[in-house]
Amino acid sequence: MMKKTNDSIYKKGDIIEFDIIDLSNDTEGIGKTDAFTWFVKDTVIGDRIRAVVMKCMKNYGYAKLDKVIIPSPERRKPRCPVSGPCGGCTMQEMSYSFQLKYKENKVLNNLIRIGGFKREDFICIAENETANKDIMDSDCMASENRCIFYPVIGMEYPWRYRNKAVIPVGERGQKIAAGFYAGRTHSIVEVDDCLIGIEENCKIKDTVLSFMKRCNIKPYNEKNGDGVIRHILIRKGFATGEIMVCIVINTQKLPYKEQLCTALSAIKGVESIMLNINRSKTNVIMGQKTVNIYGKNFISDYIGNIRFNISAESFYQVNPVQTNILYNKVLEFADLKGDETVWDLYCGIGTISLFLAQKAGRVYGIETVQKAVEDAGNNAFINNINNAFFITGNAEDILELWKMEMINKGGEIDKNDKMDKNDKKDKRCGKDNKSPVNITDIRDMRDIKNILDFPDIVVVDPPRKGCDIKCLEAAAAASPRKIVYVSCDSATLARDLKYLAGKGYKPVKVQAVDMFPWSGHVETVALLSKLDVDKHIDVEIKLDELDLTSAESKATYAQIKEYILEKFDLKVSTLYIAQIKKKCGIVLREHYNKSKKEKQAIPQCTLEKEEAIMDALKHFKMI
């Protein structure tokens, strides 16, 4: 094989040979030929491979695996015959123990690389040390001012764990095809039995396909928008055994639906059959309208001893075994004593909220999807939980509104405005005080500070993109003692923890939980604690030894603005500079042109501008 020099250009179709030395965040193998980096799917660290060049950039490229010349000690034969083309499981080629180590390292590396934390900021507990109570003692760890990084929690049996499947239906020639989409495509890979799904999936899929053939029901055609059946959605309650089947259709009605109901209801566990109508020409799976055609319009499941009613549209964690572990870890980190007020942001159908409500004084869940909030209210009702309250709206908008309502004339959150809990219960539960739960729509809010109380603990469980900056700003401004962050993407977790660290919240514990064996995804719970000023050393300063004007004399507001504009191409106001000066402890003169309005809305400095101002203050040696 002709050796390529660093200046050579690789061409599509070239054959290359190298060792896999690392894995990307997308679980692609990483290797090098000289200074050129390659990404190759279906490879394992330690493999020696031959690959075909597919695409080249300036100093990296993508190649397709041609042959494993020397297999890694961690390489395994995939149990699924279509694990390669199917986009679901990307790590079946490697041992499960090796996957867990990869995920653990992924979380830690993201915290260091993206979060800006140092390796020495963490105490990494070895797996064989988790039973040692002395090592796990948090007070001992806190004295070292470091964060405990626990070993990832994996599954004893990492198969058949998914309680939900969405099976696309289409055409292949004259034949109906059903299975899962190949990675990054809408090409259906036919799957007889998905090994991470429930065993009933195969029988339900075959029953629907037999019905379609018998009654001449056409599958949906993405190209021209014709056909009837688009997807088969299946959900199962692991604790109850109840199964829901939801057929997503491209028409207003499903012909011969009675025959389908008869066939599906004969399958053990099927308690609910739904039709979802989706006539849009998009990739969105579910439409706006869902109707019940057999049995109940929901199924039930339990996490711990909390029962949840799950509709076709509900967000509900797909791995109930690990979800129980995850939520108990949230409860452990929160360390509730019984009288705390908790905010649960991005609460969904109230799964975490209701878990916390068992031990908290009261819990406020905030969720943007109205149907999810209705489900959360119903779930609180069926569990007779009357200390959980749910609000419909974007968490960032609600908290921004709350923050502005609570800001006093001095521009800070006024905790003296906290209402008596009994008063707030009267306002929320109605005249009889017997309603088990109350649901508030953001559009109906007139005085949010009388609806949402100050938090002792904030729990966030955002989507993959992480928390909105306004949400983080308001949560930190509310000054809870603890923040528990539940994340499905450790990259955005690291980004958000970096911001919260700047607001005085130090990571104390981090625990990864493997919710998705055989994929590269991992769930993470992080506990952040507000710096305890009572534990800081008191220092006596003699005023005659301190030049109080020295910081102010370093640079004028105009000089700071000029520096930021030149270096960052940003314009900042005098107000923003004053806010950051105050945050840094720089004494400010009294401003005599204050607004006479009692509830003056004070704009707050953005994170980008705050960082620029901090840079300027350091440049002028003011901090």
For residue 171, pLDDT beyond 70: yes
Do the domains 14-70 and 164-307 sit in the same CATH topology, yes or no?
A: yes
Name the binding residues.
Answer: 317, 346, 367, 461
What DSSP state is assigned to residue 15? E
Residues ≥6 apart with Cβ < 8 Å to 276: 233, 246, 247, 248, 249, 286, 287, 289, 290, 312
Q: What's the rounded Cα separation, in Å, for the pair 277 and 272?
A: 16
Q: Report, as an integer, the average pLDDT of 79-96.
A: 92
Other CB atoms within 10 Å distance of the CB of residue 106: 22
> Quick check: is 347 catalytic?
no
pTM higher than 0.75: yes
What architecture is the 14-70 domain classified under in CATH? Beta Barrel (2.40)
For residue 133, the model assigns a pLDDT of: 46
Residue 196 token pair: 């991470």
Residue 432 confidence (pLDDT): 38
What is the fold of 164-307?
OB fold (Dihydrolipoamide Acetyltransferase, E2P) (2.40.50)
- Residue 497's φ and ψ, nearest 5 degrees, are -65, -30
State pLDDT tens for residues 429-439: 333 333 345 66
Percentages helix, strand, coil for the chain (3-state, rounded to 5) are: 30, 25, 45
Residue carrying structure tokens 């720089």: 586
The H helix count followed by the E strand count for the chain is 16, 24
| Tokens standing for residue 281 | 């020409």
Q: Where are the domains of the chain?
A: 14-70, 164-307, 557-620
Catalytic residue among 194, 488, 584, 605: 488
Q: What is the pLDDT of residues 177-234, one digit of tens each?
A: 999 998 778 899 999 999 999 999 999 999 999 999 999 999 999 999 999 999 999 9
Rounded to an integer, what distance in angstroms lies between the CA atom of residue 561 and that of residue 363? 43
> What is the reported pLDDT for 619?
74
Residue type, 571: K
Of the candidates 101, 185, 196, the one whose C-alpha atom is nearest the C-alpha of residue 516 is 196
**Rounded Cα gap, residues 410 and 407, in angstroms:** 8
Bridge partners, residue 309, by sequence:
300
The answer to whether residue 253 scores a pLDDT higher than 70 is yes
DSSP state of 352: H
Q: Are 444 and 370 in contact (CB under 8 A)?
A: no
- Return the pLDDT at 173: 86
Report the distance separating Cα 468 and Cα 122, nearest Å: 26
Which of 87, 264, 77 lies closest to 191 in space, CA to CA? 87
> How many whole angstroms separate alpha carbon 32 and alpha carbon 51?
12
Q: What is the DSSP string of 223-279?
A: TT---SEEEEEEEE-TTT--EEEEEEESSSS-TTHHHHHHHHHTSTTEEEEEEEE--
Q: What are the residues facing 342 on neighbouring strands?
A: 363, 457
Tens of pLDDT along 136-168? 554 445 445 899 999 999 999 999 999 999 999
Binding residues for S-adenosyl-L-methionine: 317, 346, 367, 461
Q: What angle do CA 383, 386, 387 make, to 5 degrees?
A: 120
Query: Could you tell me how far CA 577 lies from the centroid of its own chain?
Result: 33
Identify the weakest region by mean pLDDT among 136-140, 198-202, 257-261, 368-372.
Answer: 136-140
